[in-house]
Amino acid sequence: MQLTDRSKKTDKSDLTVIEKTYWPGVVKGMGITLKHFFSKKATIRYPEQKRYLGPVFRGHHILKRDEQGRERCTACGLCAVACPAEAISMVAAERVKGEEKLYREEKYAASYEINMLRCIFCGLCEEACPKQAIYLRHDKFVPVFSSRDQVIYGKDVLVEDLNDRYERDAWTKEDMAALWQKQKD
C-alpha cells in the first residue's frame, strides 16, 4: 500500500567488481569532505564573533539620552503599565534648578528598575514610551546571571553611556517599514 509518492526506488542490484573494493565510494566521500575544507563555514565563533540580528531584535534595555545628553525618561509610568510581566518600577522626582542639562523634562526618574527575572523581552515598553526613552538594544544580549541580586537592573546599567552611544538603523515602526522596503527593492 502506497500512502505517499515521496518514496524512492532503491537500487538493489549486485555490486560490480570495482565497487566491491569500495574505492569509488571512499574517493567520492573524501571528495565531499575536501570540498567542505574550502567552503564557507556555517558556524561562527560565538561569543567572540556575533551575527547581525536585524534592527528589530529585542535585547538589553537601554534608557536613551537625547542629542544634548539629557535623559529622555520622564517617569510617566506608561512602560510599567504596559508591561505584561510587571517587571518595571520607578520613582519620579522633580528636576531642580541646575539640572537642566541632565534631564530633559521637569520630571525625571530618580530610580528606574527592571527585574530581569520577570522581563519577557516583548518590547511593549518600547512601544508604550511616549518620549522615545526606553529601547531594547538590537546588538546586545542580557548577560547570564548567577545570583538574584544581579537581576534588578537599575539606572546605572540602563542609562545610555555618552561615550558609547547606542545607534540603530530604524528607531520607529515607520523607519522599519522604510528599511524593509529598501531591502526588498
Residues near other proteins (CB under 8 A) are 1-2, 74-78, 80-81, 86, 92-94, 105-107, 130-131
Query: Cβ 33 to other proteins, closest distance in Å?
Result: 43
- When the beta carbons of 31 and 130 are compared against other proteins, the nearer one is 130
- When the beta carbons of 62 and 75 are compared against other proteins, the nearer one is 75
Query: Cβ 31 to other proteins, closest distance in Å?
Result: 42
- Rounded Cα gap, residues 160 and 59, in angstroms: 14
- When the beta carbons of 78 and 136 are compared against other proteins, the nearer one is 78
CA angle, residues 153, 156, 157, in degrees to nearest 5: 50
Q: Could you tell me the CA-to-CA distances from 46 to 49, 50, 51 in Å, in that order?
A: 5, 6, 8
- When the beta carbons of 107 and 155 are compared against other proteins, the nearer one is 107
Query: Cβ 93 to other proteins, closest distance in Å?
Result: 6
- Rounded Cα gap, residues 114 and 59, in angstroms: 13
Place of cell 522626582: 93
- When the beta carbons of 86 and 175 are compared against other proteins, the nearer one is 86
Query: Cβ 12 to other proteins, closest distance in Å?
Result: 22
Query: Cβ 76 to other proteins, closest distance in Å?
Result: 3
Query: Cβ 3 to other proteins, closest distance in Å?
Result: 9
Amino acid at 137: R
- When the beta carbons of 9 and 41 are compared against other proteins, the nearer one is 9
Closest CA to 137 of 165, 178, 103: 165
Return phi, psi of residue 138, to 5°. Answer: -90, -5
- Rounded Cα gap, residues 42 and 31, in angstroms: 19
List of residues 6+ apart from 77 with CB closer than 8 A: 90
